[in-house]
Amino acid sequence: MIMIGERINAGFKDIKNAIVNKDGDVIKKWARKQADAKASYIDVNLGAASNKPEDLCWMIEMIQEEVDTPISIDNNRPRMLTEAMKVCKKPPLVNSTTAVEEKMNELFPIVAEHGASIIGLVMDEAGSPATADKRVENAAKIIEKAMEFGLSPDQIFLDPIIMPLKFMQEQSKEILSAANQFQLFSDPPCHIVCGLTNISSGAKHKGLINRVFLTMLIANGCDTAIMNVLDDELINAILTAELIMNRQIYADSYTEAFRKK
């Protein structure tokens, strides 16, 4: 499983304050914690705290001073990305484009130039799709465009767009069905990613909903999640789902082995 640590996000108060006060220690602390929990990427999100490229670059630099985990740049403005790409020591993951032609034309060349990867949200000008079919249609647009720019399937992370269970209950089935169909675009398939915590937004039993939904997504081909990598129960659910899908070889101590350095 490719796990993208979501914690360095200005939506969290401590991160927002750290950006405003240029307090690198807070950024480093969360970078370290997530890297120790075996995050594959560390997501960096400026949120509303700033729109200056130098702030984004500063965050990336702080993280890279502490750990060598690749960065997921949570920003879709070409001007910001171009600057941020320059400071990334390893090929980053761009989070994200939509299936809007103009957006893809702006972002794919930057991604291709740096050998990076990109998340493709399967939404278009009309906004978030309501059905599996629409999601698949938009995904096809993304794939086609990416190929034009010479990106390979393993540089593309399709996001079926997770909707809150509590408010849009009919969506979950559509999302799972869409993810399943994303696997058929190419062989080997693209990555399938989800912004997991959306599913439990506003709900009471967040952890439980996250675990169950991610397990079901994994069964439908999902191999990447933007998630709380510090949630042990969630990690255990992932490890188990991967065994069930025969992606890893079973051993009695599989949960302990994952955590052992």
Partner 1 sequence: MEIPDVKEKWTSRINTVTIGATKEQGGTRGKTVTVGGATTFPFLTFEGELPNKTVIAGFISDIAPDWPEQITKAIGGEINSPAEWAQKNVEEYGVDLISIKMLGAEPAGKDASPSECAKVIETVLKAVDVPLIIWGCGDDEKDNHVLPECSEACKGENCVIGSAKESNYMTIVAICKADKHKIISEAPVDINIGKQVNILLQDADYDLKDVIMFQTTAALGYGYDYVYTIIERCRNAGLKGDELMAAPQICDVAGETYRVKEAVADDDILPGWGKLEKRGPMWEAACAEGYMHAGADILIMAHPDAIKSVQKTI
Q: Tell me the closest approach of the beta carbon of residue 248 to partner 1, in angstroms.
A: 7
Q: Is 236 in the site for partner 1 (CB under 8 A)?
A: no
Q: Tell me the closest approach of the beta carbon of residue 210 to partner 1, in angstroms.
A: 25
Q: Is 248 in the site for partner 1 (CB under 8 A)?
A: yes
Q: In b/e form, how buried is each residue of 225-252, taking b as 16+ CB within 10 angstroms? A: bbbbbbbeebbebbbbbbeeeeebeeee
For the chain, what is the HEC assignment? CEEEECCCECCCHHHHHHHHHCCHHHHHHHHHHHHHCCCCEEEEECCCCCCCHHHHHHHHHHHHHHCCCCEEECCCCHHHHHHHHHHCCCCCEEEEECCCHHHHHHHHHHHHHHCCEEEEECCECCECCCCHHHHHHHHHHHHHHHHHCCCCHHHEEEECCCCCCCCCCCHHHHHHHHHHHHCCCCCCCCEEEEEHHHHHCCCCCHHHHHHHHHHHHHHCCCCEEEECCCCHHHHHHHHHHHHHCCCCCCCCCHHHHHHCC
Q: Tell me the closest approach of the beta carbon of residue 256 to partner 1, in angstroms.
A: 7
Q: Is 244 in the site for partner 1 (CB under 8 A)?
A: no
Choices 20-28, 51-59, 112-120, 250-258; region in contact with partner 1 by CB under 8 A: 250-258
What is the per-residue binding string for partner 1 in 12-31, x denoting contact by CB under 8 A? --------------------
Q: Is 253 in the site for partner 1 (CB under 8 A)?
A: yes
For partner 1, the closer CB: 55 or 242: 242
What is the per-residue binding string for partner 1 in 110-149, x denoting contact by CB under 8 A? ----------------------------------------
For partner 1, the closer CB: 2 or 216: 2
Which positions from 166 through 225 interact with partner 1, judged by CB under 8 A? 188
Q: Is 68 in the site for partner 1 (CB under 8 A)?
A: no
CA–chain centroid gap for 95, Å, is: 7
Candidates 154, 167, 169, 184: give the one binding partner 1 (CB under 8 A): 154
Q: Is 257 in the site for partner 1 (CB under 8 A)?
A: yes
Q: Is 250 in the site for partner 1 (CB under 8 A)?
A: yes
Given a contact cutoff of 8 angstroms between Cβ atoms, the answer to whether 217 and 194 are in contact is yes
For partner 1, the closer CB: 126 or 257: 257
Choices 59-67, 82-90, 160-168, 244-252; region in contact with partner 1 by CB under 8 A: 244-252
